[in-house]
Amino acid sequence: MKITNSKFAQTAPRAAQSVKIFFFCGPDEAGAHGAAAKIIEMLPDAGEKVEIEGSELKRDPVRLSDETRSTSLFGDKRHIVVRANGEEAHDALKILTDAPEAEIAEGWPVLIIATSATDKSRTSKLLEKRDDALVVMFYAPDLRSVTGEVRRLADAAGLRMGAELAQRIAASVALDTRMAASEVQKLALYLDADSHAPRSVSAEDLDAIAAETEDDSMQALVDAVLSGDAVKLPHELARFRQQNMNPVGTVLAMERRVAQLAQIAARITPGEDIGNAVSNDPRIFFRDRPAIARQLSQWHGPRLARLAEKLMNLHRALLADSQAAPLLFAAGCTEIARAAAARR
C-alpha cells in the first residue's frame, strides 16, 4: 500500500495493527521521523526498540530478516527502526519479503526512515503492492500545513493559541515539526498547561521560550551560506558533520528560504528600502529579519532565480548519489557562499 503524508493520520491506526513493514520516504525528514514515532505509539505492544543503520544493512542484508525473528534476553517483544540513505535497505527488504507471508506476519514490525528516497525508488516499488507493507511519501512541508500541525499540538497540550503565534513557531523552526513539537512542550511546561487546565498563549510567552535556532538547528548554516559569511561557514560545516545533519533536509531549508525571499521581494515596491520593508513585515519572524534583509540585498532578480536553480540541481545530485552527498553538499554550500560574499 502506498499513500502520501496527507492521508497518513487517517491510515495510521489501522496500519499499526496490520502492517509489518513501514517505509517512510521523501524530503520531509521531520515528518517521516514523526510518523515513525506515531506508529510505534500505536503498536499493540511495541516492546524493545532495535535500531539499525542503513549502511549496516547494505553490508549485511541478511541481518534484517534475522532481527525480525530474534528475541531479547528476557523474551520481550521488539520493533526495528532502520535509518537509511536512499536504497541502502533495498536488498535487506528484498530478502525479508521473499520469505513466506506467514513468516513475515510472525516477525517484529520494521520501520524504515529513508528521506533521501522517494515513492518512485526501487524500495518503494518493492513494497507498494504488498498488503503487509505501507509506503508513505512525505513531501516538503509548507508554512500553512506546519502552522496547522502546531495548532493541533497546542490543542492537545492544553494551549489556546491563535494562528499568528502558531505561524511564528512554524517559521522559527524552519518548518521542522519535531522542533515545533518541542516548542509546544516547552510552552506547556512554562505555562503549567494540560488538557484539563488549558492556558492561553501570548506573544510574550512565546518570546520567553523561543527556539534558539542559531544554536540548535540547521538555520545557522543556511544563513551562513546564503549570506556568504566566510567566517561562520567553516564552523557551521564542521558542526553539520559532527551532528550528522541531513544534507537533503538542509538544502530543502535553503530552498524554502529562497522561496521566502522571492515572495518578500515581490511585495517590495521599486525604490523601497529593503531593511524597512523587512522590519515592518509582520509575516517575517523577528529573529529572521536581519538575515533576510541581508540576503535580499545579495540575491534579487535573475541572481535569485539562478540561486533557486542551483539549489534544485544540488538537491537532485544529493538524491542521485547518497554516498557522495556530504562532499557534494559541502562543495555546493561553498560555491553559493562565495557568490553571496561577492555582493556583501
CATH code assigned at 83: 3.40.50.300
Cβ atoms of 2 and 128 closer than 8 Å: yes
Residue type, 173: V
Least confident of 155-164, 277-286, 303-312: 277-286
Cell of 161: 493559541
User: Do residue 224 and residue 328 come from a single domain?
Assistant: yes
Domain holding 167, by residue range, is 143-211
Q: Residues 175-209: pLDDT tens digits?
A: 778 778 888 988 998 899 998 999 999 988 887 77
pTM beyond 0.85: the answer is no
Residues near 272 by Cβ (< 8 Å), separated by ≥ 6?
Answer: none
User: Do residue 116 and residue 238 come from a single domain?
Assistant: no
The residue among 285 and 329 whose pLDDT is bigger is: 329
User: Do residue 229 and residue 311 come from a single domain?
Assistant: yes
> Which of 162, 190, 211 is the C-terminal boundary of a domain?
211
As a whole number of angstroms, the distance between CA 335 and CA 330 comes to 9
Identify any residues that bridge with 49 across adjacent strands, giving them in sequence order.
79
Going 13 to 28 to 136 to 308, the CA torsion angle's sign is positive
As a whole number of angstroms, the distance between CA 135 and CA 168 comes to 32
Please state the rounded mean pLDDT for residues 218-233: 92
User: Do residue 133 and residue 12 come from a single domain?
Assistant: yes
As a whole number of angstroms, the distance between CA 18 and CA 133 comes to 9
Half-sphere exposure of 197 (CA within 13 A, CB side): 5
CB atoms within 10 A of CB 68: 22
Q: Residues 270-285: pLDDT tens digits?
A: 889 999 999 988 778 7
Q: Residues 39-97: pLDDT tens digits?
A: 999 998 898 999 999 999 999 999 999 999 987 666 678 999 999 988 999 999 999 99
> Which of 137, 157, 186 is the C-terminal boundary of a domain?
137
> Which of 104, 137, 170 is the C-terminal boundary of a domain?
137
Cell of 123: 524500495
Quick one: which of 60, 121, 71 has its CA closest to 96?
60
Residues near 276 by Cβ (< 8 Å), separated by ≥ 6?
Answer: none
Please state the rounded mean pLDDT for residues 12-28: 94
Q: How many residues does the chain have?
A: 344
User: Do residue 205 and residue 223 come from a single domain?
Assistant: no
User: Do residue 127 and residue 251 come from a single domain?
Assistant: no
Cβ atoms of 122 and 25 closer than 8 Å: no
Q: Give residue 213's pLDDT.
A: 41
Name the domain count of the chain: 3
User: Do residue 75 and residue 200 come from a single domain?
Assistant: no
Q: Give residue 174's pLDDT.
A: 67
CB atoms within 10 A of CB 200: 11
Q: φ, ψ for residue 212 (rounded to 5)?
A: -85, 75
As a whole number of angstroms, the distance between CA 299 and CA 106 comes to 56
Please state the rounded mean pLDDT for residues 133-156: 90
User: Do residue 206 and residue 162 come from a single domain?
Assistant: yes
As a whole number of angstroms, the distance between CA 184 and CA 208 comes to 13
User: Do residue 204 and residue 293 come from a single domain?
Assistant: no
Element (H, E) at 267: helix 247-267
User: Do residue 204 and residue 221 come from a single domain?
Assistant: no
Quick one: which of 328, 335, 330, 341 has its CA closest to 238?
330
CATH code assigned at 234: 1.20.272.10
How far CA 316 is from CA of 62, 71, 76, 246, 306, in Å, comes to 30, 40, 42, 14, 15
Whether 211 shows a pLDDT value over 90: the answer reads no
Whether 214 shows a pLDDT value over 60: the answer reads no
Please state the rounded mean pLDDT for residues 135-163: 91
